[in-house]
Chain A
Amino acid sequence: MAELRQTPLYERHVAMGGRMVPFAGYALPVQYPTGPMAEHHAVRQVAGLFDIDHMGQFRIVGRDAEVFLQYVQPRDIGQMQLWEGAYSFLCYADGTFVDDLFIYRLPDAWFIVVNAVNREKDLFWLDTLAVGFDCDIIDVSDPTCMLALQGPKAQSILQKLTDLDLNRVPFRTAAQAQVAGIETLIAATGYTGEYGYELFFPAEHAVAMWESLLEAGQDEGLLACGLAARDSLRFEACLPLYGHEISAAVDPVSARLAWVCDWDKGPWIGREAVLRIKLEGPKQVLVGLEMIEKGVPRERYPVAAGGKIIGHVTTGMKAPTLDRFLAMAYVPPDYSAVGTEVEVMIRDQPRKARVVPRPFYIPAYRR
């Protein structure tokens, strides 16, 4: 792991018994001694704390920042209120994904959060497109630490550390406040299907913030959580992960993310291609599968019907909250109706599965 990057919390993770694995070029804990199941359940029932400092953050500033951001992604950010946050993505001109991201409208900048694995690629892509625009894209990933506090008790835990009334920070908005004495951008969002927060603050305070949060949540049962729990939580809520459900090989229509696109806001990169796919129909679509015959469907396992390979699994597992063997998979539209029976090839053996509704777990903020 010598060449892997470390977050400022690396030594803390090791001291806590975190099992460090390579992820997106970083050494990160896949789990702590509590184990991925216990960590998953903690987030659903109480709260979990995640080091997600590997993720990238850019500030887009300048006179043309808004016009530029309208041009590079499909959402009409002109509709966004100050402090509002929104999910979106970047597309290539052919409609395939560069990356997905989160956008915040801050008083002094547009703040965007991108996947760690795509940070350099995104920056290069945006810089290339920014030629001719009066704006700067500033990569603040290194000086900024990012943690996620997720779960039904996230608000009451965070409230102990800040004077800001968190009832005034509704879901999908952000606020600037002191948390444990550290100047922090508090964003009410997450990647687990639960209510919670993503916190952005100066990286030199990473350990202090981590320790303060763990201490504040100790009585409630807050657990530090690793990458495995993060993956199983987002999987149950059917939140896409770059490199799995989305990539340069698929488009927003296939990935069932066309709802993000605002068609009336004017041109944006990829618009014509995505619109054409929407009108003509995609060749493949993302579906949820449940195993009828027991077995663990895993990424890249083929999906078959009538003795023919028709698609593949993008993520699959035994969903911890639901206790069902589930997968997300790409299949042709003809096989995408709920109830359709297909087979997942598990270690070359066909196992029966059926298409089921997504998401598998309805996020707390959608109930």
Chain B
Amino acid sequence: MPFQYDPQARYAKTHEWARLEGDLVVVGISDYAQDALSDVVFVELPAVGSVVSAGSAVAVVESVKAAEDVYSPVSGEVVAVNEKLIERPELVNASPYEEAWFFKVRPSDLGELDGLMDAAAYEAFLASQEH
């Protein structure tokens, strides 16, 4: 099944995307991730003001099937969370790269973005994960 990719975003092996917008990094989960989860029913977001480190579990996304951690791809301070997902978790399925961003981080080290995959590398990574 072909998945959508945001060419502006960079991707973690744990299927989060991170997109630099101004001086903030916006984080969500990939189209592949939402499809694997199937219908999302609940999202738990980090507290605004919390300090997160790259690779740490900071949010939870729950589908009909399972609860999965969402890891922050970058370190920094959480400055905004997408409250819309609390009332409308199904947005994660409908619009993973736009409406269903999870949180915004003021990054402490922008270099961390370079350690993530670009869309082409992530697509290749997904292909290598099959079988």
A315 within 8 A of B: no
B64 near A232: Cβ-Cβ < 8 Å: yes
Interface residues on A, range: 10 to 19
Q: What is the CA–CA distance of A228 and B90 in the complex, to the nearest angstrom?
A: 17
Chain B residues, Cβ within 8 Å of A317: 41, 64
B64 near A36: Cβ-Cβ < 8 Å: yes
Q: From A71-79, A245-253, A293-301, give the one contacting chain B.
A: A293-301
Q: What is the CA–CA distance of A325 and B44 in the complex, to the nearest angstrom?
A: 14
Where chain A touches its partner, the secondary structure class is: mixed
Which of these, B38, B62, B86, contacts A296 with CB under 8 Å?
B62
Q: What is the CA–CA distance of A295 and B64 in the complex, to the nearest angstrom?
A: 12
A228 near B42: Cβ-Cβ < 8 Å: no
A296 near B39: Cβ-Cβ < 8 Å: no
A9 within 8 A of B: no
B38 near A36: Cβ-Cβ < 8 Å: yes
Chain A residues, Cβ within 8 Å of B42: 294-296, 318, 325
Which of these, B44, B60, B65, B86, contacts A30 with CB under 8 Å?
B65
A35 within 8 A of B: yes
Q: What is the CA–CA distance of A90 and B38 in the complex, to the nearest angstrom?
A: 36
Q: How far is the CB of A297 from chain B (nearest CB, A)?
A: 10
Within 8 A of B (CB), among A311-358: 317-318, 325, 347
B67 near A298: Cβ-Cβ < 8 Å: yes
Chain A residues, Cβ within 8 Å of B39: 35-37
Given A232-B64, A318-B62, A347-B67, 13 further pairs, Cβ under 8 A: A19-B38, A30-B65, A35-B93, A37-B90, A228-B64, A294-B42, A294-B86, A295-B42, A296-B62, A298-B67, A317-B41, A318-B41, A318-B64
